[in-house]
Amino acid sequence: MILNGAAAIENHKTEINELNVFPVPDGDTGTNMSLTMSAAASALRESKPGLKISKAADIAASALLRGARGNSGVILSLLFRGFARHLKDCEAADAPMFAAAITAGVESAYRAVMKPAEGTILTVSRLAAAAAVTEAERSEDIESVLERAIAAGREALADTVNINPVLKKAGVVDAGGKGYLFILDGMLRALRGEVVEAAGGETAEKADFAGFGAEDITFTYCTEFIVSRSSSKTPPQLRAFLEKLGDSIVVVDDDEIIKVHVHTDDPGAVLTEALTYGPLLTVKIENMREQHSAKILEETETQQSGQNEAALDPVPVEKDLGVVAICAGDGMASVFRDLGVDHIILGGQTMNPSAEDILAKVNLTPAETVFILPNNKNIIMAAEQCKALTSRRIIVIPSKSMPQGVSAMLAFDPTGTAEDNEQAMTEAISRVHTALITSAARDSTFDGHEITQGDYLALLDDNLLATAKDTLSLVDAIGKALAAFSPEFLTIFTGEGADSATSEDVLRRLSAMIPDAEVSMVSGGQPVYSYMISAE
């Protein structure tokens, strides 16, 4: 059922992504839910066949917890965690128990979310569970119970646009709720004996490289991995690099990942280069001469990537405080390193790291207390998940943007106490307003704005501020809005594609509009947003 559910959400992830409220590339809900489910599917494929339902549910729930990406992925993991706990020690489940387990999952999610919002995946899952319980009272058929749950969920989904004011402005239903129903539908099809085929003709079973030709063994190590794309570097560049180190090279990619197979004598060099394209999702290395798995990851930077199939044990404590930050862009990474961040995770709007990704960096930080700067509202919940997965003390500073994270680091005192730093860093981010300039990825209507693909958009503290056909018109709107806060400091972070002439114009205009502020410009190199403007 899990494998079918994972394939179903994979097939529909683009459709779910299109339900993003703003028509900009962000931590896409469909992609996050698909990657989260794929973690559970992979764990189940690697387990022994014939598991009783409680063990299978427990394996899936554990993998979902570690693989959860974005808010939607975290909530999905919570739904399955409650489901698994209710089925503890059960060898099988009848209809009432199955319905009760779905309900337990919903209760688990509501308890864990600090401020549960209706008109979301929570509403859809709650009403679906209620319908399942009602159906189970009159029918012993689990298939019938799941059918009724999906039907009720669809009714609830259609109503989310009326319940959630943000969705109403955008005229769309909740993306997470719709993704959840696709997963349930895949599970229902499993009960009917159907196998869901993933996009591209793949079935719910994991594709592997077993079909590659058995050439003479020239190179020792068969190396396979999947990279989540988070840089501007291209697959042909990676292929060209690999051709210098091995043979039997296969490089397959889409918008989200690059999948690679190569025979080489130096997997360490291969994986180190792969990390420059983005975080590693999976890694498999086999010694083709010895026919057993090689313990090579310890010799490479891969163990430090935070993307291994299992997170590292915590390193010995050497200091009181440490910091892990999530950011995108070489310039932004340099800023955070210069401010004293121990470890950087490349991620953000276009690729949300999983809880396990973050956990690995936390465990690599030799500090008794580790602060996490998510720097994105869609990563905060995944960061919070790490608290239950490590012996380290974790404090999540709920920074929603990279400029907020920078301000938090400026307030960080490595010689102070954890409590004093938490207070200072939290207060620092509360004083920051962040304006963003990007371009629309598709046509859309939001809150009275008719948006055409390619239009420039200005966002202020996650709210749509203005649209225009050129960047400088948006700068005027941003300057007027930021001036109302009477900021003392204004920092312009230039992103990918920001040309120097326009950047100088942006600097001049904002300096003129807010003359009392100290205005500076930093090369951030961040993707998606050509300009991030911080006011505090």
Contacts of 99-104 with CB under 8 Å at 24 or more apart are: 99/129, 99/132, 99/133, 99/135, 99/136, 99/145, 99/149, 100/133, 100/136, 101/57, 102/128, 102/129, 102/132, 102/149, 103/129, 103/130, 103/132, 103/133
Closest listed residue to residue 177, CA positions, set 158, 203, 201? 158
The set of residues, in sequence order, having a beta carbon less than 8 Å from that of 360 and lying 6+ positions away, is 304, 305, 306, 307, 308, 311, 312
Q: What residues contact 298, with CB distance under 8 A and at least 6 apart? A: none
Instruction: For CATH 1.25.40.340, list the domain ranges present in the chain.
Output: 2-200
With 0-12 / 13-18 / 19 or more C-beta atoms within 10 angstroms meaning exposed / middle / buried, residue 216 is exposed
What count of Cα atoms within 13 Å lies in the side-chain half-sphere of residue 349? 17
Q: How far apart are CA 415 and CA 403, in angstroms?
A: 23
CATH class given for the domain over 2-200: mainly alpha
DSSP 316: P
Tell me what pLDDT residue 126 has.
Answer: 96
DSSP letters, 157-219, are HHHHHHH-HHHHHHT---HHHHHHHHHHHHHHHHHTT--PEEGGGEESSPP-STTS------S
**Range(s) within the chain of domains with CATH label 3.30.70:** 221-305
pLDDT digits (tens, 9 = 90+) for 369-409: 999 999 999 899 999 999 988 889 999 999 999 999 999 99
Mean pLDDT by 10 residues, the chain (536 residues): 91 85 62 91 86 88 86 89 89 90 93 81 96 94 94 95 84 91 94 79 35 48 83 86 78 70 84 91 73 34 39 83 94 92 85 89 95 94 90 95 95 94 96 92 75 87 89 93 94 90 94 94 90 95
Q: Return the amino acid letter for 65.
A: L
pLDDT confidence of residue 286: 74
All CATH 3.40.50.510 domain ranges in the chain, comma separated: 319-430
CATH 3.30.1180.10 in the chain, residue ranges: 433-535
pTM over 0.85, yes/no = no
Instruction: Tell me which DSSP letter residue 250 carries.
Output: E
Alpha carbon distance 419, 351 (integer Å): 31
Backbone angles phi, psi at 420, to 5 degrees: -65, -40
- The Cα 55–Cα 63 span in angstroms is 12
445 token code pair: 């209507």
Query: 3.30.70, 3.30.750, 3.40.30, 1.10.1200: which CATH number matches 221-305?
Result: 3.30.70
- Beta strands 489-494 and 257-264 are unpaired
Comparing CA positions, the residue from 362, 356, 359, 355 lying closest to residue 317 is 362
Please tell me the CATH code under which domain 319-430 is placed.
Answer: 3.40.50.510
Provide the CATH topology of domain 433-535: Hypothetical Protein Tm841; Chain: A;domain 3 (3.30.1180)
How many Å apart are CA 196 and CA 43, to the nearest integer? 18
Residue 225's identity, in one-letter code, is F
Of 385, 203, 354, 376, the residue nearest 280 (C-alpha)? 354
How far is 171 from 405, CA to CA, in rounded Å? Answer: 32
In contact, 403 and 493? CB cutoff 8 Å: yes
Provide the token pair at 106.
Answer: 């919903």
Give kind and range of the element (H or E) at residue 87. none
Question: Which amino acid makes up residue 197?
Answer: E
